[in-house]
Chain A
Amino acid sequence: MHEASLVQSLLKQVGDLARDHRASRVTRVRVRIGELAGVESELFRFAFDALSPQTICDGAGLEILPEPVQWNCEYCGIPIRAGEPLQCRMCGWPARLMQGSDLVLEQVELETV
């Protein structure tokens, strides 16, 4: 389960931001997780709940935005339907992943005094 090490990276990044903004508390953290990012959202949330209490993120809400997968033909651009081979049904060209692999810290909400 690599979700725990990813959450540790997240907590470090948010901790750095909170320090830069002289925040006393983090109230919300929003991440975007692609369906092909290789990350299980439920495990990610579980790790966040387990690891955040020892940090400035204690009590912060975790918002996970799922990013759907989209493959398009690299040559003619037509979308590949889910479950189809990743070669274009029209021209045979390989597909390109347009979205769905991101793993991004999008936004944080901080309380400053």
Chain B
Amino acid sequence: MCKECGCGDTEIVTVDVQQKLLSANDLAAAHNRDHFTHAGIFAINLMGSPGSGKTALLEATARKMGGTRLAAITGDLETDRDAERLRKAGIPCAAITTGSACHLDARMVHKALHELPTGAQDFLFIENVGNLVCPAIYDLGQALNVVALSITEGEDKPLKYPVMFHRADLVVITKIDLEPALPGFNRKALEDALRRVMPRPNFLCLSAMTGEGVDAWINWLQSNRKVPAHRAHVHDLIAGSP
């Protein structure tokens, strides 16, 4: 009602809000992060294009880290094939089928956490939906972001999808065993593109097929795991520093 005279006319009120659109997701992510910190779980948000080699990277990780307690959550629009592959590789895994959603959000991850076997884990890999755009903006509660980028995708991918790469703590350049078959591939151009979109360009090259570079990836995981999740920061990363 009109405050001037109570006549019943409508009144226009302007309200300053300044609230993040992702505030509900951020709250759920903070909840996940608390859980990870208290349980001593080092959570990685693994992102990348479809077919960039995210699942193969985790299979190779399981082969090398047999004694370590690994777990995974996979996100795909349809099917739980990635989860099946990871279970076969010995990684307990919960699958999230997103339907039409192009990314995972913190609430989906929270729900999936309840499906994982209880008990302590050292590393939790959240294999996001294959997509270089949407997953970058949703905090899931992870300690660090890793982006898998295969050499067949082209050297200019980081320049085309800067948001994904500037939020990455590490870029794993995959499928380097294919380099002899790609005469046009220019590794220097790819590294230059990463320097243009990553303030701290940390990257390492590997082949999940031949195992080349997998040790460096495992070292990166182990050395970052020692840092408590809330303190882990890109300063502490060693791989690929210029």
Contact = CB atoms under 8 A, between A and B. Distances in A.
Interface of A: 1-2, 5-6, 9-10, 12-13, 17, 21, 23-25, 27, 31, 36-39, 71, 74, 83-87, 94-97, 102-113
B17 A87 contact: no
27 contacts: A1-B134, A2-B101, A2-B103, A2-B133, A2-B137, A9-B24, A12-B24, A17-B17, A25-B10, A38-B137, A38-B163, A84-B196, A86-B166, A86-B197, A86-B199, A95-B199, A96-B199, A97-B166, A102-B20, A103-B22, A106-B17, A110-B13, A110-B14, A111-B10, A111-B12, A111-B13, A112-B12
Interface size range on B against A:
35 or more
A113 B14 contact: no
Contacts of B8: 113
B10 A24 contact: yes
Given A38-B136, A110-B12, A105 B18 contact: yes
B13 to A, nearest CB: 5
A7 B110 CA distance: 22
B46 interface: no
B198 interface: yes
Contact of B101 (A5, A12, A71, A106): A5
Contacts, number: 114
Contacts of A96: 199
A84 B198 CA distance: 11
Interface in B206-227: none
B78 interface: no
A85 B242 CA distance: 12
Interface in B183-216: 192, 195-201
Contacts of A108: 14-15, 17
Contacts of B14: 107-110
Nearest to B198: A86
